[in-house]
Amino acid sequence: MNEQRRRLVFDLTVWITGPVLALSLLAVDVEAKSRHSGVDNATWRAECGGCHLPYPPGLLPAADWRRLMGSLDRHFGADASVDPKAGAEIGAFLAANAGRDEARAADVEPRITTTRWFRHEHGKVSPAVFRSSPVGTTSNCTACHADAAKGDFDEHAVRIPR
């Protein structure tokens, strides 16, 4: 009887934890892909991409995108103002495709490079790489991610310049 009980416990453990683990891994994969999915908007690509990589909306939560869009006249030291119609369209696009909320102090300027996700993904990259001539800054995604402009940040395709 003792052997049957052990077998039952083992079977239940395998049949319950197996699917739960599989669903958990699937959820993590879906979350990672949603951060940089291939969503697109022509106005966003033209206006934001005119100065820098049009960062995928999933890299910041909606509240951070709203703050950035509300202060385009002081956008990281530059005046990146757009006409109100374009601003409304871009803001709606960013909010609709934004990532999950992350706690952030109201007085801290939203930066993708300071998110928990970015720090986790780039934690093993030496600060010297970001300061190197080919890279220059943490916000220069295309230096290592050749398909960043397409929203593709696949870690298997990363090429860190030497």
Residues (pLDDT < 50) of the chain are 27-34
What does the pLDDT read at residue 36?
53
Instruction: Return contacts of 130-133, CB within 8 angstroms, 24+ apart.
Output: 132/161
Q: Report how far Cα 121 is from the mean position of its chain's Cα atoms.
A: 10
Tens digit of each residue's pLDDT (9 = 90 or more) over 135-152: 999 999 999 999 998 889
